Amino acid sequence: PLARPRPPRRAVLRRTAHLSRDRARRAAPHGPPLARIALTAQLSRERRALPAAIGCRLSTARYRRAPLRARRRRRRRRRRRRRRRRRRRRRRRRRRRRRRRRRRRRKRRRQRRRRREAGWEEGEDVLGGDVEHPPQRLVRRPQPVPGPALPGERGGGGEAAGACGGLRGGVAGAVAGAVGVAAQGTRYEQERLLRKSCTLYVGNLSFYTTEEQIHELFGKSGDVKKIIMGLDKVKKTACGFCFVEYYARGDAENAMRYINGTRLDDRIIRTDWDAGFKEGRQYGRGRSGGQVRDEYRQDYDAGRGGYGKTVQCQ
């Protein structure tokens, strides 16, 4: 007996599945729809009879289901692709939002830092705006003005030209005094200079304390580079303060820790950080040439010329 013909491969079936549609299009490409429908129905009948004619063991129902499964697979793939695209879009949007938020935060921080450095701060609310975000105006921060200092009071404006007042030995107090009185510059520059400075301001000295005595005392904490005595602007005599500069920052820190508040020439001396000596700061800023604190002092201090200048004039 003759051998049964081999069933066609899937590729052949796939090509024959579209045979009726392609033949209908070629037969009546521009014909009326009804003619095309009738021709398609006829060709589909021929297609259903095709597996039996070529000896295919596939059933007609299974043969009809094959393109349906392929369509479903294609649909599933399309859905998966859409989901992946949506997820990618969402991730991109989230990343963009995060980047925008970070940029805004950095911008706000930079603006606040610049305002602080320039000496501006947020003031009280002005009219307008909503309740949650009322508009605000910027107010210039009041800068410390040199004035009379009472005896024994720290951080007075009249201690010396460029004297760093404020908390005892604290950088914050030194900055507050340095900004109002010392060399020109922003708060940020003053803080940076004070952190690296090797210079100390020494106050409440006697008019008769010599440079050798100061060198002997401050030389115990390290090698002293220079001592600048504070002078009366008119008489060019000592007026009760000086600047001590060290070679190393650690020696200056030791002096702040151990010498501040000690006794020299029967007087308790004060030491504070200084941003750095500049020519001209060794002279007093009082009207009579000395320190401002000696202008308004009302008690008698033998080590600082007796009564204050105002009392002496009366």
SS (H, E, C) 295-312: HHCCCCEHHHCECCHHHH
Alpha helices in 151-289, H assignment, sequence order? 171-181, 187-196, 211-218, 249-258
Alpha-carbon distance of 55 to 187, in angstroms, equals 97
DSSP character string of 8-23: PPHHHHHHHHTHHHHH
**Contact call for residues 162 and 194 (beta carbons, < 8 A):** no
- pLDDT recorded at residue 308: 74
SS3 of residue 169 by DSSP: coil
**Contact call for residues 222 and 251 (beta carbons, < 8 A):** yes
CA 1 to chain centroid: 93
Q: In CATH terms, is domain 171-313 a member of 3.30.70.330?
A: yes
- pLDDT recorded at residue 132: 44
Domain boundaries, the chain: 10-58, 171-313
Q: With 0-12 CB in 10 A as exposed, 13-18 as middle and 19+ as buried, what is 311?
A: middle
**Contact call for residues 298 and 311 (beta carbons, < 8 A):** yes
- pLDDT recorded at residue 277: 83
Nearest to 46 by CA among 81, 19, 83: 19
- For 287, the token pair is 């009207």
Alpha-carbon distance of 163 to 277, in angstroms, equals 10
- Please tell me the total number of residues recorded for the chain in this structure: 314
**Contact call for residues 116 and 175 (beta carbons, < 8 A):** no
Q: Give 243's strand partners.
A: 201, 228
Alpha helices in 219-264, H assignment, sequence order? 249-258
288: number of CA atoms within 13 Å, CB side? 16
Nearest to 166 by CA among 193, 144, 187, 141: 144
Torsion-angle region of residue 7: left (phi > 0), alpha (psi -120 to 50) or beta? beta
Q: To 5 degrees, how large is the angle CA 77–CA 81–CA 83?
A: 115
pLDDT in tens, the chain (314 residues): 555 555 554 444 444 445 555 555 555 555 555 555 566 666 666 655 555 544 454 455 555 566 778 888 888 999 999 999 999 999 999 999 999 999 999 999 988 888 777 766 554 433 444 444 444 444 444 444 444 443 344 444 444 334 334 333 444 444 444 444 444 567 888 888 888 899 999 998 988 899 999 999 999 999 999 999 999 888 888 888 999 999 999 999 999 999 988 988 888 999 999 888 888 888 887 777 777 777 777 778 888 877 777 777 76
- pLDDT recorded at residue 63: 52
Helix (H) or strand (E) holding 293: helix 292-296
- pLDDT recorded at residue 44: 63
